[in-house]
Chain A
């Protein structure tokens, strides 16, 4: 089944590779992945849609949580969240169909971002099913090229962000003996 995972990650080289590695090592195919900086430029927010065996969903979350560059992971598959996709669609069409296309775009809440003699470029946002439908409808009016952003999601039930504090550097050997010296999350 499709699992929607939202991650807050450190904006560091290799972080993306570590996260996708959890999935690729198990042979899972990523349906979509989006990533961009947050308000804090040292952090990124990532949304991954991936086809995972239902019984391994928790394991995948736990494995991602173990990665040092990952500050927080949430499984949004069944929890309250809003998710949207952006579609940029270019359509080549005949003069006769132009009005009908504009009508359809309006029904989907889509916006024309470029217009030429050949046709339009249209942007639309919505959940995945709605975007599938939009693309289907547009296809019936002419040749189309489509770029989809993949899903971006925001949880409506935000978890408290638990971060670890600083620890003294040096003499790891002694810290290992002294278990209490290990930082406590």
Chain B
């Protein structure tokens, strides 16, 4: 028997049916009826301090668990503030459902108070979006939104709901199935293509595995590991894929690309078969595309057909879910191994010898000093204390690259960062989202002094909920990555990159009621990190690092990835 319910209650009922336990949001005029219904609903609402951070927190929740993150904002400015987070989730294929309030249906298009064309604005920021004009459509739309966000190539879905739909009454009939005839998802991969892939792999002399965020999204880590061991090939994880193959795995090389290791980039460039799994040949990985992996045939596995051949033509495309395709490929490889495995053993041995040589010639070497804290040193100590098991949410810039280089991740979903969009201000709110989803884990927000100042309002959220988030600010007094480019490519004409007037960390955190501390001596680094871990709840550690350090290796814009700059050309003179 259908019960008469308000639209707001129907929405919450659907969220409960989707297993939602937590909404990151900020209320406003048109969402008042929704928040009134939340008053007596079991779903936890987390009040963030800015809507952009609601979306980043929902991403942190989703990235660290694989479940759909949910955020909520009011109409107009609330909705427009979500936009950066939505694009961020779209670029990194993160399942997020955003609920926005809209002015009542009768007022839409009248320039009403706090009205914005959210449906139009977010069309290109989402995988799909909805404007609900009829209360009867609401259950269907909500379940569709969750299905779309979480299946296929995941992504953000926005549902815009006018106030009168929240307030209206309807007989709620639970939706048992959804039908999206135009939503095409291919998971299994073509059997013939999978067989051909196995052949190509056995025939290759210098195979190389290039695995990315698609492995994490499909939960294919175990399959990837089995695959890498079956064919005993060197493997890299992209920035989005760190942890997909454990960092401690003997076949793991490092991250490739603009700030990837020498061995990773030389390996890609020298390979004769690139096995690309859940990656999109991003420009930060490939460098100059025309010179990327010039000797390699490419096997490209991706769930999104539009990624195949987008940047690099695939010699063997397989459209499917990484987990399913790699599992099926492993089966074929196991069957054919007795006849094929030893085929190129000589060449394979030489290939490994070459890879090891590259690793030894130019390993990723952290810098240390006895007088100042080198940023790499900071990352090495965070790595030591987290031992491949802590969640690390990074912001965007130099610290992000050093963290990716020096912090090991032995499991997927530990490394959270804004890979595709590169949104500064992501790290802290994403850590908040992750902390809600993983109350038993240590969560580091490793951020720069630039991005941190974009997220300062969320210190209140951390204090409010007593969250176990350890904020580590790698403070070099600069917008470091921009300064690095100005110093290397713009004759060191530094413009608008000095961040003066950074707040006193102890006073800042103290103002919110938790501990903050600034350190600048290398001797204080380990004790301070230990204190941060020991102390329950939030902690702010401001680490003054050497200001002029640059991230190396570096592939300059427009260069091929084997044309790396391995270290500073000359001492960089920056007045400070």
Seen from chain A, the residues whose Cβ lies within 8 Å of a Cβ on chain B are: 9-10, 13-14, 17-18, 21, 25, 58-59, 62-63, 65-71, 162-177, 179-180, 182-185
Contacts and interface: CB of A to CB of B under 8 A. Distances in A.
Contact of A173 (B19, B182, B187, B218): B19
> For B149, B183, B188, which residue has the most chain A Cβ atoms within 10 angstroms?
B183
Size band of the interface chain B makes with A: 35 or more
Nearest to B219: A177
A10 B19 CA distance: 30
Contacts of A164: 179-185
B306 A62 contact: yes
Nearest to B153: A66
Contacts of A63: 306
Interface in B297-313: 304-306, 309-310
B178 A166 contact: yes
B520 to A, nearest CB: 44
Contacts of A14: 119, 123, 129, 131
Contacts of B18: 170-173
Residue of A68, A69, A71, A163 ringed by the most chain B CB atoms within 10 A: A68
A180 B143 contact: no
B124 interface: yes
B19 A172 contact: yes
A162 B181 CA distance: 8
Contacts of A62: 305-306
Interface of B: 17-19, 66-68, 95, 119-120, 123-124, 128-129, 131, 140, 143, 146-152, 154, 175-188, 218-219, 304-306, 309-310, 321, 323-324
Given A10-B181, A166-B179, 8 more contacts: A62-B306, A70-B182, A164-B180, A169-B140, A172-B19, A173-B68, A176-B151, A180-B187
Contact of B181 (A13, A163, A171): A163
5 contacts: A25-B124, A65-B305, A68-B183, A169-B178, A185-B185
Nearest to B188: A184
A176 B321 contact: no
A20 to B, nearest CB: 10
* A-B pairs with lowest CB-CB distance, top 6: A172-B146, A169-B143, A62-B306, A163-B181, A172-B150, A185-B184
A170 B143 contact: yes
Given A68-B183, A164-B182, A170-B143, A183 B177 contact: no
A124 to B, nearest CB: 36
A9 B123 CA distance: 17
A184 B188 CA distance: 8
Nearest to B145: A172
B179 A182 contact: no
A4 B536 CA distance: 63
A166 B177 contact: yes
A71 B181 contact: yes
B162 to A, nearest CB: 14
A7 to B, nearest CB: 10
Contacts of A66: 304-306
B19 A68 contact: no
A183 B185 contact: yes
Contacts of B17: 169-171
B182 A176 contact: no
A127 B409 CA distance: 61
A67 B151 CA distance: 14
Nearest to A168: B177
Contacts of B186: 184-185
Contacts of A21: 123-124
B314 to A, nearest CB: 12
B51 to A, nearest CB: 23
B182 A167 contact: no
Contacts of B140: 169
A175 B151 contact: yes
Nearest to B65: A173
A175 B324 CA distance: 14
Nearest to B310: A59
B147 A172 contact: yes
Given A65-B305, A164-B183, A183-B185, A176 B177 contact: no
A59 B19 contact: no
A173 B177 contact: no
Nearest to B21: A173
A184 B187 contact: yes
Contact of B182 (A67, A168, A170): A67
Nearest to A42: B181
A167 B95 contact: no
A28 to B, nearest CB: 14
A10 to B, nearest CB: 6
A172 B62 CA distance: 12
Nearest to A18: B123
A168 B180 CA distance: 11
A124 B69 CA distance: 56
A9 B182 CA distance: 8
A63 B150 CA distance: 19
Given A14-B123, A62-B305, A179 B179 contact: no
Nearest to A169: B143
A182 B151 contact: yes
B309 A58 contact: yes
Contacts of A175: 147, 150-151
Contacts of A13: 131
B219 to A, nearest CB: 7
A179 B187 contact: yes
